[in-house]
Structure 1
Amino acid sequence: MKAIETKLKGCFILEPNIIEDSRGYFFESYNENKLEEILGFKPIFVQDNQSNSSYGVIRGLHMQTGEYAQAKLVRVLEGDVIDVAVDVRAGSETYGQSIAVRLSADNKRQLFIPRGFLHGFSVISEKATFFYKCDNSYNKASEDGVNPLDEEIIIDWQIPAGKMIISEKDQYAQSFKMFKNK
């Protein structure tokens, strides 16, 4: 597994070693010891989540706060997405900055997103199945988020405006300015 640290400290793109032959392919999608070596600590994942979405869907920007904050290891099982992480860790040198990474069933890349990040993705294929491991359980009372079309963060979701499918909850989510001023 090859690890590429992004401009956001602690956020890594993970590229698997894929073994292919006439029968298909094989790769190790998760290895606790290798991930610990890359991260410098041992994440303990307690929950797996999976979603299926069609072209144009934008999910995010979401996070959990406080004692229910979550680190995530995300990947795509089917299709193609633009995966986004926004650093909102207090005191971080890259606070408010984001990265966008193309994750797909074809490239088999994963993204490790530490606690303290907003997270979201857009589906740029006909449909996509998105899978993620979380190091903390979901807690509704700890949910937080920012409108994915926020004018301060400015994320290119690679979906034309007329084709975006955004939940009502995300459409009416707070601005990044409101989020920062809490």
Structure 2
Amino acid sequence: MKIRPLSIDGAWEVTPVQHGDPRGLFTEWYRFDHLAEAVGHPLRLAQGNLSVSARGVVRGIHFADVPPSQAKYVMCVRGAVVDVIVDLRVGSPTYGQHEMVRLDDVDRRAVYIAEGLGHGFCALSDDATLTYLCSETFAPTREHAIHPLDPDLAIDWPADSPQLSSKDAAAPSLASALADGTLPNYKECQDYYALLNQV
């Protein structure tokens, strides 16, 4: 398993070793010890999610209040998506920047997304299926979103006509969320990561 940091602090790409023969395939798609070594602490497993999307569906950009927010380990088990991680942490050196990683059922890569980062994706195939391992359970009062088509994010979504949920279509812009004080603070996130690293 190869774990490499992405350009945004708190985000990692995980590439598993696949063992295949005429019978099929086997891979370790998650190892808590390897991830903990890279991240600095184990991923607390509080909830598992499954998401199925049609081609051209864009979901995100979602994030949650820190603390405790919700760290995510995301993998595509069927089809393909472009996964997008956005740094929404005010004061971060990469604030407002994003990174895109293709997740599919060929390379079977995963991404780890730390607390305070924004997350979204675009389905490149029909029935694109993602699994999420989450560090906290879903808490509607702490959940937020930024409009995924906000020009300030400048995300080049690979869809001619992105399909959004009504919730995502009504999400505020990055500038509005900043003005409202909704966005995570980089220093507070760093302090929270340090606390997790002591566990």
TM-score band w.r.t. shorter chain: over 0.9
Name the CA distance, whole Å, in 2 between partners of 1:174 and 1:106.
35
User: Does the CA-based 8 Å contact 2:66-2:115 persist in structure 1?
Assistant: no
Q: Give 3-state SS (helix, strand or coil) of 2:119's partner.
A: strand
Output aligned runs, 1:6-85, within 5 Å: 6-85=6-85
For 2:88 and 2:102, how far apart are their aligned partners in 1? 21
Q: Give the total of aligned pairs.
A: 180
Looking at structure 1, the residues matched to 37 and 142 of structure 2 have their Cα atoms a distance apart, in angstroms, of: 30
TM-score when normalising by structure 2: 0.87
- Normalized against structure 1, the TM-score is what? 0.95
Conserved 8 A contact 2:97-2:153? yes
86-95 or 129-138: bigger deviation: 86-95
- Structure 1 residue 128 displacement after superposition: 0.6
Correspondence for 2:164: 166
2:116 partner letter: G
* Distance in 2 separating the partners of 1:165 and 1:88: 23
User: Which runs of structure 1 show a deviation greater than 3 angstroms over 4 or more consecutive aligned residues?
Assistant: none
Provide the rounded CA distance (Å) in 1 between the counterparts of 2:126 and 2:166: 22
Give SS of 1:90's match.
Answer: coil
Whether the aligned pair in 1 keeps the contact of 2:68 and 2:115 (CA below 8 Å) is: no
8 Å CA contact 1:85–1:119 kept in 2: the answer is yes
Unaligned residue ranges in structure 2 (runs of 5+): 182-199
Counterpart contact for 1:68–1:142, Cα < 8 Å: no
Q: Which amino acid aligns with 1:160?
A: D
Is 1:141 aligned with 2:134? no
Equivalent residue letter for 2:152: E
Percent identity, aligned pairs only, is: 36
Q: Residues of 1 paired with 2:29 and 2:6: CA distance?
A: 20
3-state SS of 1:121 partner: strand
Query: For the residues of structure 1 that align with 2:118 and 2:36, how far apart are their CA atoms?
Result: 22
Shift of residue 107 of structure 1? 1.3
Cα distance in 1, alignment partners of residues 139 and 148 from structure 2: 21
Give, in angstroms, the shift of residue 127 of structure 1.
2.1
Do the aligned residues in 1 keep the contact of 2:66 with 2:116 (CA within 8 Å)?
no
- The code of the aligned residue for 1:174 comes to P
Higher percent of residues as strand: 1
The CA deviation at 1:60 is 0.6
- Please list, as runs of the form range in 1=range in 2, the aligned pairs for 1:105-120 lying within 5 A after superposition: 105-120=105-120
1:94-133 deviation per Cα after TM superposition (whole angstroms, max 9, x unaligned)? 1111001100011100000000111111101122111101
Is residue 124 of structure 1 aligned with residue 129 of structure 2?
A: no
1:112-168 per-residue CA deviation (whole Å, 9 max, x = no partner) reads 00001111111011221111011011100011110010010011110013xx21111
Q: CA deviation at 1:8?
A: 0.5
Q: Matched residues in 2 for 1:35 and 1:66: separation?
A: 21
* Structure 2 SS opposite 1:49: strand
Asked whether the 8 Å contact 1:68–1:138 carries over to 2, the reply is: no
Moved more, 65-74 or 8-17: 65-74
Equivalent pair of 1:48/1:133 in contact (CA under 8 Å): yes
